[in-house]
Structure 1
Amino acid sequence: MHRPIHVNLVFVLITALSMTACSRQAIYETAIGLERSSAGLEPATVEVGNLDIAYLRNQQAVDGDTIVMVHGFGANKDNWTRMAGYLTDDFNVYAIDLPGHGGSSKPLDIGYRLEDQAGYLARILEALSIGEAHIMGNSMGGAISALYAANHADRVKSLVLFDPAGILEYPSPLVDLVSDGNNPLIPKQPGDFERLMDFALEEEPFVPWPILSVMEDRAIANQKVNEVIFAAIRDAGFEADFRNAIARIKAPVLIIWGRQDRVINYRNGEVFAQAIPDARLEVMEGIGHGPMIEAPEASAELFLEFIGHER
Structure 2
Amino acid sequence: MQRSLSLNLVFILTASLLLSACSRQGIYETAIGLERSSAGLEADTVMVDDLEIAYLRNHQAVDGDTIVMIHGFGANKDNWTRLAGHLTDDFNVYAIDLPGHGESSKPLDIGYRLEDQAGYVARIMETLSVGNAHIMGNSMGGAITALYAASYPERVKSAVLFDPAGILEYESELVDLVMDGDNPLIPKQPGDFERLMDFALEKKPFVPWPIMGVMEERAIANRDVNEVIFAAIRDAGFESGFRNAITRIQAPVLIIWGKEDRVINYKNGEVFAAAIPDARLELMEGIGHAPMVEAPEESAELFRAFLDQRVR
Is this a same-fold pair by TM over 0.5? yes
Counterpart position of 2:299: 299
User: For 2:210 and 2:12, how far apart are their aligned partners in 1?
Assistant: 13
User: For 1:181 and 1:24, how far apart are their aligned partners in 2?
Assistant: 33
User: For 1:70 and 1:220, how far apart are their aligned partners in 2?
Assistant: 21
User: For 2:303 and 2:243, how far apart are their aligned partners in 1?
Assistant: 24
SS in 2 for 1:230: helix
**Cα contact 1:2–1:40 (8 A) shared by 2:** no
User: For 1:62 and 1:104, how far apart are their aligned partners in 2?
Assistant: 26
Identity of aligned residues (%): 80
**Cα contact 2:246–2:275 (8 A) shared by 1:** yes
**Cα contact 1:146–1:246 (8 A) shared by 2:** yes
Structure 1 moving runs of 4+ over 6 Å = none
Counterpart position of 1:92: 92
Structure 2 gap segments, 5+ residues each: none
User: For 1:265 and 1:2, how far apart are their aligned partners in 2?
Assistant: 31
Counterpart position of 1:125: 125
Counterpart position of 1:71: 71
**Cα contact 1:252–1:278 (8 A) shared by 2:** yes
**Cα contact 1:113–1:229 (8 A) shared by 2:** yes
Question: Alpha-carbon deviations, 1:204-240, whole Å to 9, x = none?
Answer: 0000000000000000000000000000000000100
Alignment of 1:38-77 (within 5 A): 38-77=38-77
**Cα contact 1:150–1:246 (8 A) shared by 2:** yes
One-letter code aligned to 1:124: I
TM-score, normalised on structure 1? 0.99
**Cα contact 2:197–2:204 (8 A) shared by 1:** yes
TM-score, normalised on structure 2? 0.98
Counterpart position of 2:152: 152
Counterpart position of 1:232: 232
One-letter code aligned to 2:232: A
Counterpart position of 1:258: 258
Question: Alpha-carbon deviations, 1:240-278, whole Å to 9, x = none?
Answer: 000000000000000000000000000000000000002
Q: Residue 186 of structure 1: CA displacement? A: 0.1
**Cα contact 1:70–1:145 (8 A) shared by 2:** yes
Question: Alpha-carbon deviations, 1:7-26, whole Å to 9, x = none?
Answer: 01110100010011210000
Paired positions, count = 309
Structure 1 gap segments, 5+ residues each: none
Q: Residue 3 of structure 1: CA displacement? A: 1.8
Counterpart position of 2:12: 12
Counterpart position of 2:36: 36
**Cα contact 1:65–1:133 (8 A) shared by 2:** yes
The CA RMSD over aligned residues, in Å, is: 0.6
**Cα contact 2:251–2:278 (8 A) shared by 1:** no
**Cα contact 1:2–1:88 (8 A) shared by 2:** no
User: For 2:301 and 2:212, how far apart are their aligned partners in 1?
Assistant: 28
Counterpart position of 1:181: 181
